[in-house]
Structure 1
Amino acid sequence: MTSGTNSFFDVTIIGGGPTGLFAAFYAGMRDLKTKIIEAAPFLGGKLPYYSEKFLYDVGGVAAMTAGDLKLELEKQARTFEPDIVYSQLIERMERLEDGTFRLTSNTGETHLTRTILLAIGFGTLVTNKLEVPNAERYEGRHLHYGADSVEQFRDKRVLISGGGDSAVDWALALAPIAKFVGIVHRRNEFRAHEGNVVQLLNTAAHIMTSSQVKEIHGTNNRINMVTIEQLDTQEDVELEVDEIVVCHGAKPDLGEIKNWGLNIEQERIIVDAWMKTSIEGIFAAGDVVEYTGKVPGLIAGGFTEGPAAINQIKAYLNPSQEVKPIWSTEHAKLLSIHHGS
């Protein structure tokens, strides 16, 4: 890995999620010297957090787990050998006299680049906690805001709190292996995909709508029981459980990037159709952006926005040259890799 003040890059991609990884591959096709800077110690963005979940909305792939998609994206991104920096959160951006940028991370390390592509997803996600007395006592033990594997809940009594896609996905995944699955949601109806809700209704999961967790009861940091409040009647119901999975979502926070001078509305960076931000030389793509016609939350959208940004970066760096279309089927290096020539 090459980084630091003495190394210049054509484009530095901040964020190593799906959008950033595919953009890095496409930047390689465009012969751009590329660096990826990821705040986490691993690539893939949110994919590693639900690695066993199947995805069905990636074009050309009937079904693939998030974990497998992460591996394929990383393999693809490494095709043109970009620089990859882990565990650095970029905080400061300075424009130098020659128009290039100096980025400074939370570790104090600096990175020099001619352009920037922000592919930071929703930024730092601040988890919405379960707001009941003493909940923190059980966090990381038997109260979970995420989990590595469904297997840790095999033969357990599990309560899921939430009504979105993540909550319903967990209920469907645990229904075949857990001793008991309950799902509690404040509203009358779930906010998850309709097809998944129909599947949930056909399982043995105990569904409690218009309800919320009121109290957690346990001994020695183990959960024995929860009190569920029925919001319409104010009646309380006690339920024996071993584990609680909280799926209340998270609030986005762009952190220090909010101080860069970008046009930002409601934690989204405003871009045009070519993914240009309000600062010349800085582009953005993926969940972090907002523009007319944006389809939010779709991985495939980032796969289009990333290349759109890279094409404009190529034009920005070479204003006197026409940026012509490029296809992988005609790329010399890719042809040599797969045809041995």
Structure 2
Amino acid sequence: MNTEKQLDIYDITIVGGGPAGMYSAFYSGMRAMRTKIIEAKQELGGFMRTYPEKLIWDVGGIEPVRCEKLIESLEVQARTFDPTIVFGQQIDQMHRREDGVFVLTTKTGEQHYTRTILLCAGRGMTQVQKLDIEGANRYELTNLHYTVTDVSRFIGKRVLISGGGDSAIDWANEIAKIANEVIVVHRRHEFTAHETPVAQMKAHAQVFTPYGISHLYGAGDRINRVELKHMETGELKQLGMDEVIVSHGYDRDFGNLVQWGLEREDYGVSVDARMRTSIPGVFGAGDFITYGSKVRLIAGAFNDAVLAVNSAKMYLEPAASDMAGVSSHNARFFEKNKAITNR
């Protein structure tokens, strides 16, 4: 009996279906690797799914695009070489057999067999940090928002945004184009978002720092007034408001991935310049990892993916070339190119 066929062993198994995972699946196809993606949720996209309406400007070679459209394009690209994609399974345990094959076990007991592992777990299973104010949950179905799926609802409105990170500032800049007024509240004097968007925000929004939301007042199930508290003096302000967006970040849950014995730093699992973790045969890409020159952009995740897949290929085949041929000369594209040009 052919044991490997029975166990269905893959060359590379990608844990996580965000931008790093999707691009890894495409690039591993370029390297003729038998590939599987395991995604804990029921769709690809990862953390990008939390801001589908946001405009993405910083991916090379494409004009500004809604995040949901970028996800669609990445998924089409990821499926180019027909990887196996498994949804709704969260990886829990890992062990290596005597023959070097890794066994990945999910929380529900399924097992997956692979020669290499590429961890693209991003921010893990995220849970939004909600507003810790009594009664806030009563407004979640009306005008208290933890993410934005339709910016048109803010046209002509007075909108308060609480938060100081990239998402909060990006939403402030986007909504300022259509809202009557945007107010940004942050608990600290300094914002953690990138400098240019912060400068844009300050030019188009009213800013209160260091203030936090201390109370919500409503008529029925809608907020109509917000109380702000100065974090140092205790001074209170009340502002009439149509819509409130809370962007305080997410709690991250990686399950037992971080218990595998991987070396870690504050901002992720440590990898070297070739995306190799401290466990031979296990690689990383995207927001899950960290290294000295790490770029935390979608474009950076693509580069991580290329380096990680190349390292996995050479781990399996030390004599293999250190990168795939460019697409214009890669034999994997010959028939695909013909099909496209003959349409």
TM-score by length of 1: 0.90
Q: Which deviates further from its counterpart, 91-100 or 191-200?
A: 191-200
SS at match of 2:215: strand
Letter in 2 for 1:127: V
Q: Which residue of 1 aligns with 2:276?
A: 276
On the 8 A contact 1:5/1:110 being kept in 2, the answer is no
Q: Which residue of 2 aligns with 1:55?
A: 56
On the 8 A contact 2:37/2:84 being kept in 1, the answer is yes
Q: Which residue of 2 aligns with 1:31?
A: 32
Letter in 1 for 2:34: K
On the 8 A contact 1:252/1:267 being kept in 2, the answer is no
Letter in 2 for 1:315: M
Asked if residue 322 in structure 1 is aligned to residue 323 in structure 2, the reply is no
Q: Which residue of 2 aligns with 1:186?
A: 187
**Residue 260 of structure 1: CA displacement?**
1.3
On the 8 A contact 2:13/2:37 being kept in 1, the answer is yes
Letter in 2 for 1:222: R
Q: Deviations over 1:87-136 (max 9, x none)?
A: 21111112223211111222322211111100111223343332223323
Letter in 2 for 1:72: S
Moved runs in structure 1, 4+ residues, more than 6 A?
none
| Mapping of residues 199-278 of structure 1, within 5 Å | 199-203=200-204, 205-266=205-266, 268-278=268-278
Q: Which residue of 2 aligns with 1:86?
A: 87
**Residue 153 of structure 1: CA displacement?**
3.0
2: CA distance, partners of 1:140 / 1:5:
49
Q: Which residue of 2 aligns with 1:96?
A: 97
**Residue 207 of structure 1: CA displacement?**
2.3
On the 8 A contact 2:12/2:114 being kept in 1, the answer is yes
Unaligned runs of 5+ in 2: none
2: CA distance, partners of 1:265 / 1:331:
37
On the 8 A contact 2:54/2:171 being kept in 1, the answer is no
Q: Which deviates further from its counterpart, 14-23 or 265-274?
A: 265-274
1: CA distance, partners of 2:13 / 2:233:
55
**Residue 74 of structure 1: CA displacement?**
1.0
Q: In the superposition, relative to structure 1, how do residues 193 and 294 fare at CA in structure 2: closer, same or farther (>3 Å)?
A: closer
Q: In the superposition, relative to structure 1, how do residues 324 and 284 fare at CA in structure 2: closer, same or farther (>3 Å)?
A: closer
Q: Which residue of 1 aligns with 2:45?
A: 44
**Residue 61 of structure 1: CA displacement?**
2.5
On the 8 A contact 2:311/2:322 being kept in 1, the answer is no
Asked if residue 125 in structure 1 is aligned to residue 123 in structure 2, the reply is no
Q: Which residue of 2 aligns with 1:312?
A: 311
Q: Which residue of 2 aligns with 1:197?
A: 198
On the 8 A contact 2:227/2:236 being kept in 1, the answer is yes
On the 8 A contact 2:14/2:118 being kept in 1, the answer is yes
Q: Deviations over 1:69-92 (max 9, x none)?
A: 211111111110001111211111
1: CA distance, partners of 2:93 / 2:182:
46
Q: Which deviates further from its counterpart, 142-151 or 28-37?
A: 142-151
Q: Percent identity over the alignment?
A: 46
Letter in 2 for 1:287: D
Letter in 2 for 1:322: A
**Residue 264 of structure 1: CA displacement?**
1.9
2: CA distance, partners of 1:227 / 1:56:
35
On the 8 A contact 2:314/2:322 being kept in 1, the answer is no
Q: Deviations over 1:291-330 (max 9, x none)?
A: 23223x12222212212111121122223x3325422111
What RMSD over aligned residues (CA atoms) do the two structures have, in Å? Answer: 2.2
Letter in 1 for 2:321: V
TM-score by length of 2: 0.90
2: CA distance, partners of 1:226 / 1:33:
55
Letter in 2 for 1:329: S
Letter in 2 for 1:270: S
Letter in 1 for 2:173: L
